[in-house]
Amino acid sequence: MKQLIIIVMNCCLLACSNQQIYEAAKHNEQLNCQELPQSQYEECMDGVSETYESYSRKRKDSVGEE
């Protein structure tokens, strides 16, 4: 099932905006967090809580884009 999701996501990459790709990857990671024990769940979810806007701003700063 996981491979099917990855294949579908790869096929959609050309038709998706950067934000849509980010949100899809974030959602997939959130689903992975749900499979963890409660003791690890909160930490995992904290790691995927960043908004696209924040991610994009950090990315642009790191590569020097305007």
Is residue 3 over pLDDT 70? yes
Tokens 């749900």 belong to residue = 34
- pLDDT for 29 equals 95
Least Cα distance to 52 among 32, 34, 27 occurs for 27
- pLDDT for 2 equals 73
Angle between helix 2-12 and 18-34 (nearest 10): 170
4-63 pLDDT tens trace:
777 777 666 655 688 888 999 999 999 999 999 999 999 999 999 999 999 989 988 888
- pLDDT for 32 equals 95
Residue type (1 letter), 45: M
43-55 pLDDT tens trace:
999 999 999 999 9
Least Cα distance to 24 among 12, 34, 36 occurs for 12
Please state whether 41 falls in left (phi above 0), alpha (psi between -120 and 50) or beta: alpha
